[in-house]
């Protein structure tokens, strides 16, 4: 990544999808993590009160992103620094160009949702 900023990364992603969809319909969100094992996982609860296995006010936890509160996804926004793991979410919402869409009660926009 070097000296690239979050804005540089977003511009690069939008330029890559430009042949398929106009950049104005694309939004990019980033989350950075300290390591792969934190991606998509909540912060670790170290002292758990009832009900067990879920965070409750008063539980102790490892504050992975140092924000002072429990997070179900402990990443921070931005592209991070050296050795950080960056998770990108790209959303595409474009206008519904099908005239028949109104007859079928489709909305004015169509979200693109890739299969997982």
Q: What is the pLDDT at residue 116?
A: 60
Q: What is the pLDDT at residue 115?
A: 64
Which residues of the chain register pLDDT less than 70? 1-3, 113-116
Q: What is the pLDDT at residue 114?
A: 67
- The residues spanned by each domain of the chain are 6-112
- Rounded Cα distance, 10 and 3, in Å: 14
pLDDT in tens, 93-116: 888 877 777 778 788 887 876 666
Phi, psi at 86, each rounded to 5°: -115, 130
């Amino acid at each position: 990544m070097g000296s690239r900023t979050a804005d540089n990364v977003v511009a690069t992603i939008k330029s890559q999808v430009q042949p398929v969809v106009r950049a104005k319909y694309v939004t990019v969100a980033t989350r950075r993590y300290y390591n792969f094992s934190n991606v998509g996982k909540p912060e670790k609860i170290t002292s758990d009160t009832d009900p067990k296995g879920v965070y409750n006010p008063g539980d102790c936890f490892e504050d992975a992103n140092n924000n002072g509160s429990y997070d179900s996804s402990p990443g921070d926004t931005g592209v991070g620094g050296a050795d950080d793991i960056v998770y990108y979410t790209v959303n595409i919402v474009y206008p519904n160009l099908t005239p028949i869409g109104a007859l079928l009660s489709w909305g004015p926009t169509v979200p693109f949702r890739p299969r997982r």
